[in-house]
């Protein structure tokens, strides 16, 4: 009987249960850094509905930010990077509010995350998220990045900023161009030229920001579009591929603030 139990513990939730209760393979904060697929919830394998995204969660262990997708909506939150190693509280997760045909998986993901109090290494590749009673709730598997900084290379037209479409036929159509080797952008906001650097994050492949943008100071008859473009760029914290093509730029609340389409 003991041999059978040992073999069962090598797969699925039983191995998570063992890991959550023991001090073996204790996890440091750095061990959860990056993006992870959610492959198991309460002992059951995660199987997304057709055409739904596989749920994942990411941890920025420098800032304490949490990000990801619960199967339909983007989710975001924070955790205490100074908490005791092996402990984490994900009870304050928020998400966008898009409706999908099947919301069951999303509800299960958010419910499970709300119960998480601890984390443990699960072998060499996985992480177990556990409840206060040491019960394994979620199993995570390292996620291959879905977006890369190289996806931004080249010139992009700005088709939407601040939730509004950019009018066609402008004398100076807004665009930005990424120089990845120099970590700089160049473009036009609708009237003035814009230049500056960008900041990416090795731990979060989708993170990007533009902290030091500068522009020329020419006045144009209508500065409304330029105002929206500059405001959106100053708010950007992440990017992602859009289902219909192009790139979406998002603010700290994961709100879409700009849409880029390849020129």
- CA–CA dist 202, 138 (Å, integer): 25
- Give me the pLDDT at residue 109, please: 95
Low-confidence ranges of the chain (pLDDT < 50): 1-19
> What pLDDT is attached to residue 260?
97
In the chain, DSSP finds a helix count (H) and a strand count (E) of: 4, 20
Taking CB atoms within 8 Å and a gap of at least 24, the contacts of 93-100 are 93/66, 94/253, 95/70, 96/254, 96/255, 97/73, 98/72, 98/73, 99/72, 100/49, 100/52, 100/71, 100/72, 100/73
pLDDT at site 134: 78
Tokens of 149: 């900084």
* C-alpha 210 chain-centroid distance: 17
Picking from 54, 39, 67, the residue whose alpha carbon sits closest to that of residue 205 is 67
Q: Alpha helices, DSSP H only, in 41-184?
A: 104-113
Q: What is the DSSP letter of 152?
A: G
């Amino acid at each position: 009987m003991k041999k059978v139990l040992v073999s069962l513990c090598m797969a699925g939730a039983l191995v998570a249960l063992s890991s959550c209760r023991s001090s073996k393979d204790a996890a440091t904060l750095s061990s959860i850094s990056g993006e992870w697929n959610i492959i198991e919830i309460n002992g059951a394998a995660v199987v997304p509905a057709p055409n739904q995204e596989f749920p994942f969660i990411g941890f920025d262990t420098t800032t304490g930010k949490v990000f990801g997708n619960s199967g339909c909506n983007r989710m975001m939150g924070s955790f205490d990077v100074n908490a005791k190693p092996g402990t984490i509280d994900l009870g304050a997760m928020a998400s966008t509010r898009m409706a999908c045909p099947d919301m069951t998986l999303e509800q299960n993901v958010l419910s499970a995350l709300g119960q998480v109090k601890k984390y443990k290494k699960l072998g060499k590749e996985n992480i177990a998220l556990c409840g206060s009673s040491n019960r394994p709730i979620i199993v995570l598997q390292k996620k291959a990045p879905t977006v890369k900084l190289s996806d931004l290379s080249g010139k992009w037209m700005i088709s939407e900023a601040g939730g509004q479409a950019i009018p066609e036929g402008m004398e100076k159509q807004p665009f930005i161009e990424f120089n990845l080797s120099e970590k700089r952008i160049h473009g036009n906001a609708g009237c003035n030229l814009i230049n500056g650097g960008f900041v990416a994050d090795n731990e979060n492949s989708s993170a990007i920001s533009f902290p030091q943008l500068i522009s020329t100071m020419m006045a144009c008859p209508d500065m409304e579009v330029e105002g929206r473009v500059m405001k959106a760029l100053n708010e950007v914290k992440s990017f992602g591929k859009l289902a219909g093509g192009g790139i979406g730029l998002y603010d700290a609340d994961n709100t879409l603030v700009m849409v880029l389409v390849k020129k």
